[in-house]
A and B are shown apart, each in its own frame.
Chain A
Amino acid sequence: MDFGYTIWIFVLPILSFLAIGLLGTRPALTGRSELLRGRVWGWIGTGAVFGSWLLALVTAYRYFFVLGTPDGHRPVVFGAKWVWMRFSEHLSFDMGILLDPISVMMLVVVTTVSFLVHLYSTGYMAGERGYARFFAFLSLFTVSMLGLVVATNIFQMYFFWELVGVSSYLLIGFYYDKPSAVAAAKKAFIVTRFADLGFLIGILILSYYAGTFDFQTLVSAGGPVLGGPAGRSFMGLSVFGWALGLIFMGGAGKSAMFPLHIWLPDAMEGPTPVSALIHAATMVVAGVYLVARLFPLYHEVDGGAILRLVAWTGGITSLIAALIAMTQEDIKRVLAYSTMSQLGYMMLALGVSGLHGHEGLGYMASMFHLFTHAMFKALLFLGAGSVIHAVHSNLMRDMGGLRKYMPVTHLTFLVACLAISGIPPFSGFFSKDEILAAAFERDKLLFVIEYAVAGITAFYMFRIYFGIFWGRERTYAHTPHESPAVMTIPLVVLAILSVLTGLVPFGEYVTADRTPYHGHINWPLALASIAVGVVGILVAKRFYQRPNDLPARAAEMWGRWYKWTRDKFYIDEIYQFVAHKIMFAGIAAPVAWFDRHVVDGFMRGLGWMTETFSLLIADLQSGRVRQYAFVFMGGLIALVLLVLFVTGLLNG
């Protein structure tokens, strides 16, 4: 079956990126034309992504339903593959399109969310300065993300990995005259870049010892990693173990895993649709996707040591993020921490997964959660964006009682909150339940953590839900009103998806060994998780539905703990210290000084010595002819004597 057309999934957004980026941002070209300055660029971007979306759906249909499982498991298909750059005779950097269950699923997720966000943005960003620029960046991001998910080899993935990073930088810094946005963008880029350093070194190690970048060869059972001898080891881990650990560092950076998460909350400085697309649904799951991509390696190398690291990183992240989310005031930050927490879930699910059959439940659950989370988290962000659009503030204390003004936003937001809290029949219930089941089977301690996090999640989500739509009735300077249709339609679509996607029998499609199996719900666990979700919701309802002094009293009661979570466990301050005190003041400043004074000082010293010496002998060059003649004379005589002496003429 030919999947060659899949290249168009990329070409469309590339074209729109080029068109908007080169033409739309030129005031000289767009001139005074209302049309060119206005929404036409938005529609071009949206149209292109819409095309990609349709193609992705067709691809998914053809891959999952037409192609099916020819030999018991889902095949790996190449839509395209060509050499992009050559490193040596045997090692080349390919570009291509690899289609397998997870990449096809990601294609659908990325194009769906991207399309809806594009559509939403045509309304949300209307009238903003840099409207065309915004869509150019969105298109760039879409291309990069699509390239990342279909990467045929780890270097292609790194390629697009960096590109999504830079799109993220550009979009976070979209309001570039706002210093906080600039700082946040810089922080996001540098923190992820630091993580990518690990990724790159990991790639170098992996490619050196395995001799290939290709995912297919790498993960194959008889491949250079799994088939060969373990190779040399270093500090208890094999080289492949180190490589995988370093690659996971890259994934952890992108997916905002503790302790590399600090950029994600700040990234909320970007426009809200960006947060929905990049920092909730797509880019941040790249780390999870990366681990899933190399899952057989993580599972096998060094007996799964790195996989346990993945699991615990995920678990700790989800707990810390959930705790911090409880006390934040800025609704976008709450959502950001919630994203972190959910990403922790996904990582943990991968970490507790096995490779084959029912063992691979965690893998399936992780991907499933990734899928459902993309829908409801995008919905949450877009809903929050709709609210922010209406009240022009991010802070919860500026909101309250909005359900009367914004019915569509209210209802869709409620759906999303229920989904993330794991209430059936919303999608989050199914995927989260699978994760809890997988954790329960593998590691009880992690299960307990995740169980608690499920409750906390329900609590903080409904805290903001009640805070925004119920709570204190207040009067607004400008009466809030429901957003325009281009913004509410994506909300409704995503709400429907958030309800329905949970019913997809995911195990049929996406599994660790690409062999379908029938999952089933572990009802005792499911009931327990529903119970903790409901408890969380009820507590939030008691606290925040009507104005009362319970929150304040609770804060008082927890005292220091409350302050710690509100101040995000001071992790930012630690980084600040490392960055400024150590990197800037501890290394960069001394290096600059050293260069000016010691290295250059040495060179200048040479110069000074030469100059001094030349001044010393400058008197020889007196300009007096007689003196020259004398020296000449004396020199001549000395020379002749020397020659005579050497040749022996003087004696004979």
Chain B
Amino acid sequence: MNSPAGFQAAKPVLAIEGLTVSFDGFKAVNDLNLYVDRNEVHVVIGPNGAGKTTVLDLICGKTRATAGSIDFDGRELTKMREFDIVRAGVGRKFQNPSIYENLTVFENLEMSYPAGRKVFGALFFKRTQEVIERVEQVAQEIMLGDHLHRQADLLSHGQKQWLEIGMLLMQDPQLLMLDEPVAGMSVSERVATADLLNRISQGRSVLVIEHDMEFVKSIAHRVTVLHQGKVLAEGSMEAVQSNPKVIEVYLGH
């Protein structure tokens, strides 16, 4: 448990204010305020349909906000295109592992290497020593160092999740967003993933959506509970767990 004490006063890296999105009148996210600090592992929990995934979609530009602002390190994300948001330093992992199954681990990671991102850059991209080193380094980090030349669809479910995290790490993002990173993992994989998150949160912020409370406890610096598109409670895991409103929402379901 690394406590981020001492950084609390700094300006948050991500500041969501008054964020609203409505689908045909249904407000999936409603006047939401949420802040993620530097070097913080911030977990969002909430019952199904609370709008958790939608919040991630809004931050990374997959869904456009109806109103409100998302300030990331001084830049307004609601008006930016998806790939610009990524290039600004936001990485997003999807709920189901989204990797290129017919490429090798190496090629998967290389694909996310932040060079040759434009058409002609990609056309003339060369696999330099620098690229190879970076890929190997990230592969070590995500515990796939021995599987570099394995085709990705042969990996276990947990390894696929790690690979996707690794692909994000290749981009060296300021803010890493993970949607249910341990879903479908074994107990030992969960522990390893928690360690991984604690390692990689050094020097960057991580926003996680998760259901597994044990896992949340092991990684969260701060927890936000969403309910019907709004913040129901926020604070440390302990504080949130004892909050009567939260208990009611969870038990009420």
Task: Please say whether chains A and B are actual partners in one complex.
Answer: no
